[in-house]
Chain A
């Protein structure tokens, strides 16, 4: 595979109000000014090194699920996406058309999951996800961002959570789950605002909104493990961050400030977060660092690390092991981003009778195609997302043919993406979080 063809095939234009109306408001002057401003003021040696180092070899192509799933169409290769967006902006010194910006936004936001698999295939380790984020930042500054994810960014800014969950709805959800759980564990508490607790448990907004059973399960695990934990009643409880993906860095910083300051205000020792990948990227890398915290000011433990810790310490006892053969999907942000793959396998092996690896796996695993905010771009881009990950379906099918009936995906967005893939390709596999398995199998 060499450098992508110069002539890029016309893509089918997807109707999206955020992109279309955003584009209509652009002028060439504004585009040039914003591009120059972002390139001059917000990028530096990192961008220059990446741009100057790339030899256009195209080795990144084979890494990309969009490329592999679209008949190796070069326009979907990582280098091809950079070529269609940032390189052209650089080459033209910002003199590009509104239509170009619309297409650049669509490519950066809906055809790249920022999964960083391509960086491992690049001989120089160029972080192409960073280049796509620069494109998204430019498009944000130009007001051309897909409608659904922009709405999510608005929710973040107005409520400090990604799903327009109002302050009372959040607390009510916790109290509801506590009440439900007390029927099973009579003395269980979800302690709100407990100052000095060891653990501040944080989740993403889809949990109170759609997946409240995960809060129930987390509370059951905390309760049975006898841990000193709390959840905040005020904004800052949501660790998620779609602003990181729309390029609204200022709100990204504001969200992480609220999150960490909620934890610091309660004087907790650490934050344990639920099974989410992108939120981990935000609290552990991007959001904290935008605020100039080199590392999180309160240590962050991802659910996988937390579960592994509980099993190693013998704090959770199992009544049985999960019987159906399982396979494990390695989420990009906590595997390529943090190296939690062996820990995840330890937890899977502790809790499941039979574990079947999908291939490739660990840091080489294919992305779910939902990450990087792509699933948050909503229904207009659903087909492109699902059809753009045929390789994932094939990967799952092979695991299934070896006997795997359940896919464990310890990440919310991966769940959304894999659910669509399993359904679309008729794979007939069950999908679980690790927390689902632990709750189902633990002594109660």
Chain B
């Protein structure tokens, strides 16, 4: 559940933390992170000789650690980091460590709404996932592509299921990898398993697989599609129908979109990836290369006329599913594009655009000459920040929350939309 309705949406600016003072207090202060509601700023800080902690709004956690890294706020506002506590690795969430301990922990991730916190862990050379402090019962010889379920109660990963020596190339090609869902592997092994997707109801899992050195397809709950391709990219389940799985597939040297093994777009492109469903599941957008060296967005196979030469990234549907925005790069400079149009102004960096709940406005964080900007519909609402985070629209779409650092002071500010 999006809890943003409970946040402070009163118009005005609040100074939350003086980062300059943190730097006077601690030997060093690492990167600053902002809570989604903007009420907290936090950073890893050095508190003593080989001793680290987390400073949250100016106050360090009581616990100190040998090391803290990967500090992040979850979407639900909890602050989590990977910590080494007397030589054992675990997670600390809001200052409290998990009970489970490992030889190493990494790749901390959150579920969409933040209820689930997962991480990869290794103990005794066995690799496993830890979901909300509960480790999988089974460990594996190796693990990759750890993926949380939408609801945060489970995880899936590509795992090595058959032992092989590095030089045993023919054994490798027989298939030594599978997918583990909540620690239990599919019955079938594959040569490779790459990106994984959960269905929205969490009951099904699909993955990119290679069944020989040359045959790529999508496997759903362990069963590969009947069709094979010369390559595939990450599959997705339709939001409202777990029987529909789509993925970019390469046929005859060009890419198109396939549904349950069959091409559903009537066009092929030199490249097609990062497809995304509209929230209602009725439309599909993808980043495509319509010709070598040019990039754009296709919605249901219809291309924008606007193209970029360097890259297109971060395509995102509006809540009503009628509009799409993305980042585009041309001649080394970034901007924001929407519905085939482009904002004026070019930047050194752009972040994924954010749609207003009514789908009428799009906002984004951008950077130029190390100064950060927040822009709405192509116009700056905040300039020259030392640091900034993605803007967030209020649930009624009438206000916007900005988070940034100005003169060494971290602030949150709510502005009305004109």
A residues apposed to B, CB below 8 Å: 17-18, 21, 41-42, 140-141, 143, 147-148, 150-151, 154-155, 157-160, 164, 166-168, 171-172, 175, 187, 189, 191-196, 233-235, 248, 250, 253-254, 257, 264, 267, 269, 289, 291-295, 297, 299
Which residues of the other chain, A, contact B313 by a CB distance below 8 angstroms? 264
The answer to whether B349 touches A140, judged by C-beta atoms less than 8 angstroms apart, is no
A143 neighbours in B (Cβ, 8 Å): 213
A151-B166 in contact (CB<8A): yes
- Chosen A-B contacts, 17 in total, with CB atoms closer than 8 Å, are A17-B169, A42-B253, A150-B169, A154-B166, A154-B173, A158-B144, A166-B142, A196-B349, A235-B144, A248-B213, A250-B250, A253-B231, A257-B273, A292-B270, A293-B311, A295-B310, A297-B329
Produce 1/0 per residue, B287-330, CB < 8 A to A.
Answer: 00100110000000000000001110100000000000000010
B230:A294 contact, CB within 8 angstroms: no
Seen from chain B, the residues whose Cβ lies within 8 Å of a Cβ on chain A are 28, 30-31, 67, 69-70, 103-104, 106-107, 120, 122, 127, 142-144, 160, 166-167, 169-170, 172-173, 177, 191-192, 194, 210, 213-214, 216, 230-231, 250, 252-253, 270-271, 273, 289, 292-293, 309-311, 313, 329, 332, 348-349, 351, 367
Please, how many angstroms separate the alpha-carbon atoms of A250 and B231 in the complex? 7
A294 and B309 contact, Cβ closer than 8 Å, known pairs A41-B252, A194-B31, A267-B351: yes
Q: Which of A151, A192, A291 has the most CB of B within 10 A?
A: A151
Most buried by B among A154, A253, A257: A154
CA distance A17 to B167 in the complex (A): 10
Q: Are B31 and A294 in contact (CB under 8 A)?
A: no
For the complex formed, measure the closest distance between the CB of A30 and the CB atoms of chain B, giving whole angstroms: 12
Q: Which residues of B contact A141 (CB under 8 A)?
A: 214
Give Cα distance in the complex from A167 to B166, angstroms.
17
How far is B289's CA from A277's CA once the two chains are assembled, in angstroms? 28
A338 to B130, CA, bound (A): 46
Residues of A within 8 A of B348 (CB): 269
- Are A250 and B216 in contact, with the CB atoms below 8 A? yes
Known interface pairs A151-B166, A264-B311. Does A175 touch B67 (Cβ–Cβ under 8 Å)? Answer: yes
Cβ contact within 8 Å between B166 and A292: no
> Which residue of B30, B106, B144, B173 contacts A233 across the interface (Cβ within 8 Å)?
B106
A167-B143, A235-B144, A254-B231 known; 7 new pairs, CB 8 Å cut-off, are A41-B253, A151-B166, A154-B172, A166-B122, A193-B70, A196-B349, A250-B231
B169 in complex: contacting residue of A154, A158, A175, CB < 8 Å: A154
Going nearest first, the 10 A-B pairs with the smallest beta carbon separation are: A294-B293, A297-B311, A292-B289, A168-B104, A292-B271, A292-B270, A250-B231, A150-B169, A168-B122, A154-B172
Are A140 and B213 in contact, CB atoms less than 8 angstroms apart? yes
A155–B166 contact, CB under 8 A? yes
> B169 — which chain A residues lie within 8 A by C-beta?
17-18, 147, 150-151, 154
Q: Kindly list chain B residues whose C-beta atoms are within 8 Å of the C-beta of A154.
A: 166, 169, 172-173
State how many angstroms separate the Cβ of A256 from the closest Cβ of chain B.
12
Min Cβ gap A155→B in Å is: 7
Contacts of A147 in B (CB 8 A): 167, 169
Q: How many A-B residue pairs have CB under 8 A?
A: 105
Which residues of the partner chain A approach B104 to less than 8 Å between Cβ atoms?
A: 168, 171-172
Once bound together, how far apart are the Cα atoms of A292 and B144, in whole Å? 26
Smallest CB–CB gap between A143 and chain B, Å? 7
> Once the chains bind, are B69 and A192 in contact (CB under 8 Å)?
yes
**A167 engages B120 (CB within 8 Å):** yes
- Residue of A164, A289, A295 touching B166 (CB-CB under 8 A): A164
Q: Given A267-B351, A291-B271, A294-B293: A187 and B28 within 8 A (CB)?
A: yes
Instruction: List B contacts of A192 (CB < 8 A).
Output: 69-70
A222 to B86, CA, bound (A): 30
Residue from B143, B231, B252, B293 in contact with A292 in the complex, judged by beta carbons closer than 8 Å: B293
Q: Given A157-B210, A267-B351, are A299 and B311 also a contact pair (CB < 8 Å)?
A: no
With a cutoff of 8 Å between Cβ atoms, the chain B residues found around residue A157 in the complex are: 191-192, 210
Q: Which residues of B contact A189 (CB under 8 A)?
A: 30
- How many angstroms from the CA of A42 to the CA of B216 in the assembled complex? 18
Residues of chain A with a CB closer than 8 A to B144's CB: 158-160, 167, 235
CA distance A159 to B158 in the complex (A): 10
Hey, which chain A residues are within 8 Å of B142, CB to CB? 158-159, 166
Please name all residues of chain B whose beta carbon is closer than 8 Å to the beta carbon of A148 when the two chains form the complex: 167
Assess whether A269 is in contact with B106, with CB atoms less than 8 Å apart. no
* Min CB–CB distance B331 → chain A (angstroms): 10
Min distance, Cβ A261 to any Cβ of chain B, angstroms: 8
Query: B329 to chain A: which residues have CB within 8 Å?
Result: 297
| Given contacts A191-B31, A192-B70, A168 and B351 within 8 Å (CB-CB) | no
Is the pair A254, B194 in contact by a Cβ cutoff of 8 Å?
A: yes
Closest to A268 in B: B349
Chain A contacts for B69, CB-based, 8 A: 192, 233
Could you tell me the distance in whole angstroms from the C-beta of B276 to the nearest C-beta in chain A? 15
A372: shortest Cβ distance to chain B, in Å? 20
B residues less than 8 Å from A168 (CB atoms): 103-104, 106, 120, 122, 127
CA distance A214 to B309 in the complex (A): 35
